[in-house]
Amino acid sequence: MQHYLTATRIDVLHSPFVFELFQQCIAKEVNLLPYQNIENIREQLRSVQTEITFEDFGASQNSRKVKVKDLANQHLKPPRIAQILNRIILYKNYSNVLELGTSLGISACYLANAPQAFLTTIEGSKAVWQQAQQTFEQAKLTHKVISLQGTFDQLLPEVLAKKPMFDFIFIDGNHSYEATMRYVEILNPFLSENGLLILDDIYWSPGMTKAWKETSEKFTVSIDLFFIGILSKRQGQVKEDFKLRVW
């Protein structure tokens, strides 16, 4: 509610870069039609009763049994957010995309679902990663996705050595202050000049709120959509922070 009341309206947005991104990618109606195959997979996952071991390398650091349907209901980006990510990749014609936190592979399908896009995505929990492989096969996206199993800390050095620049980086795992600050610091030099770095759940906890505040200070443009935060290091642009109302 507070975000809604304090957010900037589009008609008073003065930055052409942000205005364009907002109009073309963010402020669009949810449209399930182009994404029907991905949403059908999400719907199927929501009914899978199988229990798998979820090893959490994120904020809680524990290992527990979970039903696939519970992960599908609780962990995945909803269509409205996933569609914003997909529209940005399409509109900006981004090709090298990196995701930290694959889970069952639903947001990954949205990120890879652009003709020019190639996605590298990392998931720590083995059983969850295995389930994601089925998602990519069902979505017929295996040729566009490199899906790696291991922790972000284990795999990032290898990933960054192979593909030096990314246009779009989505951090959706390990929502703690320290981890978020560390991943942003590691990844920032590997974000292309016109690229975007997206942080998920920026108000999930006091730690994430602090991480969002501090990281947005380090980038030229920050766009707070409440559920996600978008960061850009565009050169030649004055430092501006935006808080926008999406719906």
Question: Per CB under 6 A, does 57 bind ligand SAM?
Answer: yes
Which of 88, 89, 106, 171 is in the footprint of ligand SAM by CB under 6 A?
Answer: 106
Q: How far is the CB of 92 from ligand SAM (least distance, A)?
A: 20
Question: Per CB under 6 A, does 119 bind ligand SAM?
Answer: no
E-only strand ranges, 70-202: 96-100, 118-123, 145-149, 166-171, 191-200
Which of 21, 122, 171, 244 is in the footprint of ligand SAM by CB under 6 A?
Answer: 122
Measured from the CB atom, the residue of 136 and 152 that comes closer to ligand SAM is 152
Q: Are 21 and 88 in contact (CB under 8 A)?
A: yes
What span, in angstroms and rounded, lies between the C-alpha atoms of 101 and 75? 10
**Position 121: which residue type?**
T
DSSP 175: -
Q: Tally the residues of the chain.
A: 247
Which of 173, 216, 219, 222 is in the footprint of ligand SAM by CB under 6 A?
Answer: 173
Which of 123, 144, 156, 166 is in the footprint of ligand SAM by CB under 6 A?
Answer: 123
Stretch that binds ligand SAM, among 62-70, 123-131, 139-147, 210-218 (CB under 6 A): 123-131
Q: Which residues of 79-108 are buried (b: 16+ CB within 10 A; e: fewer)?
A: bebbbbbbbbbbebebbbbbbbbbbbbbbb
Question: Per CB under 6 A, does 209 bind ligand SAM?
Answer: no
Which of 28, 69, 75, 234 is in the footprint of ligand SAM by CB under 6 A?
Answer: 75
- Residue 59 CB contacts under 8 Å (≥ 6 apart), including other chains: 174, 175, 176, 179, 205
Kindly list the residues in this chain that would bind ligand SAM in the complex (CB under 6 A). Answer: 56-58, 75-77, 101, 103, 106-107, 122-125, 128, 151-152, 172-174
